[in-house]
Structure 1
């Protein structure tokens, strides 16, 4: 029994000694890590985004008032000109309304003409009466001072001469004056009737304009030179309400619409140049200009419910080849910064903890967790503005197994030891 116990104790001692030797040996062996040297380079920061091709100018023609389609003058793919008729709705009722409104205008115009003629006649009669009264008054005034009977031998005598006009005889001046006063009242009434007729004419003319405008709304025309992308109507069928009758677009001038995250959008500038590529275009690339940056970020609906805010950006293409159709997907590259002789490290060598950036710097075979400040970056390199100097060795692919003060052996690869 004692012999077996001693054998067991001996085995445990041997195992402990072997384990201690293995851990001691491995603790003393530095970990081999892939490393690189910090060096100055020339670099540029790029932003890549996908976008959709859209026409710069587009007209979606929707029906204003439901009706029966009487004519369709275009089909999908046709070229159209500004002002060209695209679709016409039935105008039977509208034409009748215009005809009735025109008849009302004609009747109102006849009323104005009659009222104007009445005013003119009354004014002429009033003028004639006033002229007659003035003539008669002048004659009576002259008879009181001059004797023209021929019996007085030319004597100037207000009481002699039977051929003179005697104011006391009554004459015709007084009745004429009374008639002029009555005509004045009639003229005033006639002018009031004329004003009412003119107001009625204006109202009828405005009603005619409304009827004509409503009829014109049944004819739909193109507001631009372009191509018919969609034609969703047929003659003899009711006009659709939920979809456009016709869609016209200018395919010679195209844009690219894209959505960028907040950080990338903040780096873009109005008027900045971009490069646009597409599978459709193969190796051919297009140039474009940043034409619009939305003033706000919008959270797009997402099934996962975790969408981030994005900013709408529009790129205007300098030229739009025929192969590039509306709705095609393209890739946009924008160079937002370019620097020469900057300290940079491979992008994968930088790791984050909280809001700070770090690298593992290798000095005298030991790791030093070093905080760094970063500048511009691209898909391969990251500028370092503080924390490192040229010639420093860093770990290229840090992992969670690394820690401050750990002994390592740097593997510089093609850069040498």
Structure 2
């Protein structure tokens, strides 16, 4: 095997412990190992694309590919898990980049697209909440009109709009707290 020696366990060499004697790694072939929920294990397959990020290197991202999704969940000390423990499945991702700045042992964030669909969405900054109800303000004839909306999935920037607005209606982004229904507004 060709690679770089990453660590040597001197206790194992002397026969004191029953662990791996040494770890060998290849600096140009990285594999990320992680865990996914049982729900995601049904949606993630081998060869799916993955975007990898690190909190340590925030301005970089790398592309990868799912290479393995385990058929069995991670084993716990008590067996397969109990009612109270979340079932998680091991996953492996190969990183396409050969010039990876991260080092072995870094924690990476894996973004795997599990579902893709086209929906109507509005910016998060336009949506307000009153109890369990969501609403937005639209502009109609120079006035702010409060409209209740039904929302769906949320991303970092948008919320899925399920109902409540008509095509072409303009929403007010970051409405001020003092904005009231039927109040006159000017568009900038």
Answer whether TM exceeds 0.5 for this pair: yes
Show CA shifts across 1:305-348 (max 9, x none). xxxx89666342154737453212434333344445x4332121
Which of 78, 93, 96 matches 1:316?
Answer: 93
Q: Measure the CA separation in 1 of the matches of 2:9 and 2:144.
A: 70
Q: How large is the Cα RMSD of the aligned pairs?
A: 4.2
Deviation at 1:388, TM superposition (A): 0.4
Deviation at 1:397, TM superposition (A): 0.7
Deviation at 1:287, TM superposition (A): 1.9
Deviation at 1:292, TM superposition (A): 3.5
**TM-score w.r.t. length of structure 1:** 0.32
Q: Which residue does 1:219 correspond to in 2?
A: none
Q: Measure the CA separation in 2 of the matches of 1:337 and 1:344.
A: 16
Hey, which of these two has a bigger chunk of helix by percent?
1
Higher relative contact order (CA 8 A, sep 6+): 1
- 5+ residue gaps, structure 1, are 1-78, 81-225, 297-308
- 5+ residue gaps, structure 2, are 75-85
Q: Which residue does 2:77 correspond to in 1?
A: none
2:144 touches 2:185 (CA, 8 Å); kept in 1? Answer: no
Q: Which residue does 1:325 correspond to in 2?
A: 103
1:316/1:385 Cα in 2 relative to 1: closer, same or farther (>3 Å)?
same
Show CA shifts across 1:206-238 (max 9, x none). xxxxxxxxxxxxxxxxxxxx7643212179x96
1:334 aligns with 2:112: yes
Q: How many residues matched?
A: 169
1:320/1:328 Cα in 2 relative to 1: closer, same or farther (>3 Å)?
farther
Q: Which residue does 2:81 correspond to in 1?
A: none
| 1:204-243 equivalent positions in 2, closer than 5 A | 228-233=5-10, 239-241=15-17
Q: Which residue does 1:275 correspond to in 2?
A: 51
| 1:8-407 equivalent positions in 2, closer than 5 A | 79=1, 228-233=5-10, 239-241=15-17, 244=19, 246-248=21-23, 251=26, 252=29, 254-257=31-34, 266=40, 269-271=43-45, 272-277=48-53, 285-289=62-66, 291-292=68-69, 314-317=91-94, 319=96, 321=98, 323=100, 325-340=103-118, 342-403=119-180, 405-407=181-183
